[in-house]
Amino acid sequence: MNSYTINSRLLTTYSAEENPLHFDKTKNYLFDLSYLSALNVQGDKASDFLQGQLSCEMQDLSDIHMVHGAQCNLKGRILALLDVVKWNGIQLILPRDLLEATQNSLMKTALLSRVTLTENSSFKIFGFYLQNPQDIKPHSSFFPEAIQGQTYNEQGCYYHLGQNFYILLLKSDYVEPVVSIFKTQQQLFGSLTWHSLRLMQGQIEIYPESRGLFLPHRLGLHDTSYISFNKGCYKGQEIIARMHYKSTLKHELKLFEIETDGPLFSGQKVFNAEKNSEIGELVDYTPLDQQRFLVAVSILKEIEELNHVVWSEKLE
């Protein structure tokens, strides 16, 4: 197994042949997402507690429908992006390197709500890319077609991210039988390839380095179910609502392919080389080839190409 670092997050590949641009479209693939973890939220008022902490509508959560949410600070800036799953309590699925900070910030008010937050290590997290219903699959006869649809059985819980990408929460006893099927067929890949595939779909991630940097509107999340404008008060809501209803949005999230031998990092400023003016910030990235990268940039709407730009050398 090899590794690659995005900011400070270690992602993996199982072989040098892993390339999301050259997938066999007749095959399904399993991805080891060991960089993800889960916070278990328990208590009679767990849902009410999260309703006041996250940007999503918790009333949409059920045992057949998961929700995406953001935890923001009082300035409306994103601290973490989470998948919220109702299964054996409420599970918050998020990167492991954000778990402790997220747990600590939520604990400040959780005690008042008689809610407990503990890391859940009773299952392993995998990604699954379903391209061919006739090819090998985890031991399940049903994968929800509805986006954010969720199902579960004795092995674990599965939910649909869209575009036939699924997250699998597999109980520890069932991990080896499922993994061995895909490993034998050389259809088990690492988390870097998953990250690349998801970024190609416009799905960015928050890192310890970008925690508290970006407003949801700078990432296009106001047009998704991550943000509800119909719910009651939650942390950061006032700023987010003001941006939505009273501001003219100048930036949007765009994907570009670039070639560079310089460092890349989330929060990196992008400047117009001719005018020496800032035009955007790097949000996320992934390698495509030697010195070639796919980057997600929150950038001025009128910018169509990254020509004649300068990247800052350190986080300012």
Distance CA(82)–CA(25), nearest Å, equals 29
**Torsion angle, CA of 116/117/121/127, rounded to 10 degrees?**
130
Predicted TM-score of the model (pTM)? 0.95
Residue-level pLDDT at 131: 96
When pLDDT is averaged across residues 95-101 and rounded to a whole number, the result is 99
* Mean pLDDT in residue range 290-306: 94
What value does the mean pLDDT take over residues 75-91? 98
Q: What is the pLDDT of residue 142?
A: 87
Mean pLDDT of 138-144: 84
pLDDT at 315: 61
The average pLDDT across 79-96 equals 98
pLDDT tens digits for 239-271? Answer: 999 998 888 899 999 999 999 999 999 999 999
pLDDT of residue 201: 95
**Percent of the chain scored above 90 by pLDDT?**
84
Confidence of residue 314 (pLDDT cuts 50, 70, 90): low
Mean pLDDT, all residues of the chain: 94
pLDDT digits (tens, 9 = 90+) for 145-203: 999 999 999 999 999 999 999 999 999 999 999 999 999 999 999 999 999 999 999 99
For residue 316, pLDDT over 60 is answered with no
pLDDT at 24 over 70: yes
pLDDT over threshold 70, residue 28: yes
